[in-house]
Structure 1
Amino acid sequence: MRLISGSAGGIPLEVPKNVTRPTQDRVKQAIFNMLGELVDGARVLDVFAGSGALGLECLSRGAASALLIEQDRAACEVIRKNITKTRLENAAVRQGDVFKVLPQLAEQGGIYDLVFADPPYANKPGEEDLSLKLALLPDLHLLMAPGGSFILECRASRNSPAEWGPWEMVRDREYGSTRILWLRKR
């Protein structure tokens, strides 16, 4: 895995051993082709950050800042190493459960232009769909700037809610087993 473009383009990233599904380069390229100039100057939040690849890609492409949230302590150390390796210093790492950290950030008044999320997939019947839970979390909506974009990576499937609550669907694309939803704050 590597950063694709920008000031740190081509630099390989470490991937935590426990991250089993890093975003593939072709999916990452598709995401950033869709977003185009929205990345430049953006305040970015990357939740379920894994290696930090999406947040760091944003910084490499000119984002103003990125906060990367990851629950796993070892993954946070890998993210910190990737920040040092890429010299993308407008990045901060916060370890914690996304569903506990987001309400804290909302309470503190944090505002983001772009939010990226790649939560663990529900692999078995009965497992909780963290993608939907995150999309419907009121605190996430509070953290978004007016017209802000939420890029959600989830399992490819046409089974999705008829209504995305506070989000307007901008794009819905599938790349093999990966589905990318671009949602915008209404």
Structure 2
Amino acid sequence: MQKKSSPKPHGAPRLAPRQVRIIGGMWKRALLPVLDAEGLRPTPDRVRETVFNWINHQLGSDWDNAAFLDLFAGSGALGFEAASRGAASVTMVDNHGPAARQLEANRDKLKAGNVSVLRADALTLVRDLAARGQRFDVIFLDPPYQLGLLTQILPLCRALLKEDGMVYAETGEALPLEGEVPDWLGGWEAIREDKAGMVYYYLLKPQASAA
């Protein structure tokens, strides 16, 4: 006799809460909850692994003296990864209240004394930090792709970098680094770059003549 098929449940299937996994350092394999918000997309594990290998090489493995600024922190995937690997300080910035509160909760869960969270507009904050003379070794730029924020904020980041500092930029399309370079990208060189799926990612440094 043919078995009756089980009735299909009504409604959408229950999904596990969104999480991000730290892939290296003192909190390796720790899972942190991620706010389910439009446009918030944690940097994939594979990309983070590559990027942090690049950064480790550039820093000469000297994380103890490195200051990081995560300007569109979102899930905190990049900032918490840097903190896990022993960064001296990580400043996470997000202008979305619930996202900032989630970052604070994750910081407290990890007891991450090297992490500070600011709820602020990134463009305004960059100008304020530069005016106060604050400088960073690494700046993470992973803004919402569709808003054109990278073109606005990258030119401002040069004033925030220490000597030999660098910017990690993640975008939904390739940066126009060849041929006629747009003004907002002028004076920058990509020392490393790669692509994973629809994600383009770069490690940028100011060109010597433009630093």
Q: d(CA) in 1 for partners of 2:116 and 2:36?
A: 21
Q: What whole-Å deviation, never above 9, does each CA across 1:80-137 have from its counterpart, x for those lacking one? A: 1111122221111111110111101111111100011110012xxxxx4212222122
Deviation at 1:53, TM superposition (A): 1.6
Distance 1:111 1:27 in 2: 25
Which stretches in structure 2 are left out of the alignment for 5+ residues? 1-19
Using the alignment, how far apart are the partners of 1:80 and 1:153 within structure 2?
Answer: 23
Structure 2 Cα separation of the partners of residues 48 and 145 of structure 1:
20
Q: Report the number of matched residues.
A: 179
Higher radius of gyration, 1 or 2: 2
Is 1:22 the counterpart of 2:42? The answer is yes
Cα distance in 2 between the residues matched to 1:64 and 1:20: 26
Q: Tell me if the contact between 2:192 and 2:203 (Cα under 8 Å) persists in the aligned partners.
A: yes
Aligned to 2:5: none
Q: Does the 8 A contact of 2:71 with 2:122 survive in 1?
A: yes
Q: Which segment drifts farther, 171-180 or 12-21?
A: 12-21
Identify the residue that residue 185 of structure 1 maps to in structure 2: 206
3-state DSSP of counterpart to 1:50: coil
Q: Shift in Å at residue 14 of structure 1?
A: 1.4
Corresponding residue number in structure 2 for 1:3: 22
In structure 1, runs of 5+ residues without a counterpart are 123-127
Q: Aligned with 2:153: secondary structure?
A: helix
SS of residue in 2 equivalent to 1:136: helix
Letter in 2 for 1:5: G
Contact 1:49 1:70 in 2 (8 A): yes
Alpha-carbon deviation of 1:78?
0.5
CA distance in 2 between counterparts of 1:158 and 1:168 reads 11
Offset of residue 148 of structure 1:
0.2
Question: Kindly, what percent of the aligned residue pairs are identical?
Answer: 32
Q: Is the 8 A contact 2:70 2:78 kept in 1?
A: yes
RCO greater where, 1 or 2, for CA within 8 Å and sep 6 or more? Answer: 1
Distance 1:20 1:69 in 2: 14
Q: Which runs of 4+ in 1 moved over 3 A?
A: 158-161
Matched, 1:105 2:129: yes
Equivalent position SS for 2:56: helix
Equivalent in the alignment of 1:125: none
| Displacement after TM superposition at 1:162 (Å) | 2.2
Distance 1:145 1:26 in 2: 28
1:84-103 matched pairs, under 5 angstroms? 84-103=108-127
For the 8 Å contact 1:156–1:176, the answer to whether it is kept is no
Report what 2:168 is aligned to. 151
Alignment TM-score, normalising by the size of structure 2: 0.79
